[in-house]
Amino acid sequence: MKRAPRREEDGTGARSLLAALSAALAVAAAACTAHEPTYFPGAAALEVDGQGTEAKQTLQLAFRPPTQSEESERQKLTSQLGYEVPWLREDRVHVEMLFTITNLGDREASFALNIDGASEFVRYDEDAVAAAFEAEDEDAPIAHGLHQVPPPVNGQLLAPGEVYRGTVREDDFREMALDLDAMGRWMAPNFPAVLLYRSETDPADARGEYTTTPPNLIRPALWEVTPRFNSSQAMRCEFLVRVRDDDRRLWEDGETQFMPSPTTYAPMVPPRM
């Protein structure tokens, strides 16, 4: 059997080209996998019957605990900066929530969707805040979660059978993490203002609300997400939390899970004048 004649150096060139192609493939594969999101579905859909009872569900995002070297690095940074540096950093863990709401009733209606949540240090629970004010015989100055999902455009109502689709974006979760940390760890004095202000759209005013926060603070990301849902009609809310993790800290099969014990935030109720 004869082969087509070829130059001696062709073999070397071919090997180099194959090596370059393999390297290019490996780089492409690594680039493709670096920012792949991981999805966490709710255990079940949130369903309400329109009688006023709220449906809520807490979803803990699965991360791995730090390795020994990661933990000593974190502790080193903690002693350098003078405050507890989180394992899950808000600038490295990007959270988003996708949801669909279906009107199961026979009349058009709107809905209320609020998000509570917890970092590894602090948990915000709307009920606990209301209870703190109730204990002092006061009305809570604000009655919604860390984030309130805006209603459909122009306040449109959902017709029977209609499906509304929405996203609580990464920047919304960033704001939640910022607010929660300012309130829970740094005791921002005016917590309703912290919740109401959007720091990046009105930074001048927002700065006033975060005076107790150190500059260039490394903030903890939300590790727990609690959607709370209600409507005056029977409705169903399905949700899915999407996480991008820059440092590969998400939990994988066979690993132990990171299970922090955050403190529930209790606002200081001003004494009655």
Contact footprint for another protein (CB under 8 A):
1-4, 6, 10-11, 13-14, 17-18, 21-22, 24-25, 28-29, 32-33, 36-41, 98-100, 102, 163, 165, 238-240, 242
Query: Rounded to the nearest whole angstrom, what is the least distance from the CB of residue 3 to another protein in the complex?
Result: 7
Distance in angstroms (rounded) separating the CA atoms of residues 124 and 104: 30
| Summary count for the chain: helices (H), strands (E) | 6, 12
Classify 93 as helix, strand or coil: strand
Biggest alpha carbon distance in the chain? 103
Closer residue to another protein (CB): 39 or 159: 39
Report residue 134 CA to chain centroid gap: 29
Q: Give whichever of 38 and 232 is closer to another protein, judged by the CB atom.
A: 38
Q: What are the φ/ψ torsions at residue 177 (nearest 5 degrees)?
A: -65, -40
| CB closer to another protein out of 142 and 243 | 243
Listed residue (187, 254, 250, 247) closest to 223, CA to CA: 250
**Shortest Cβ 58–another protein spacing (Å):** 17
Provide the minimum distance between the beta carbon of 97 and another protein in the complex, in angstroms, as a whole number. Answer: 8
Work out how close the CB of 168 gets to another protein at its nearest, in angstroms, rounded to a whole number. Answer: 11
Q: Which two tokens stand for residue 53?
A: 């009872």
**Residue 17 or 259 having the CB closest to another protein:** 17
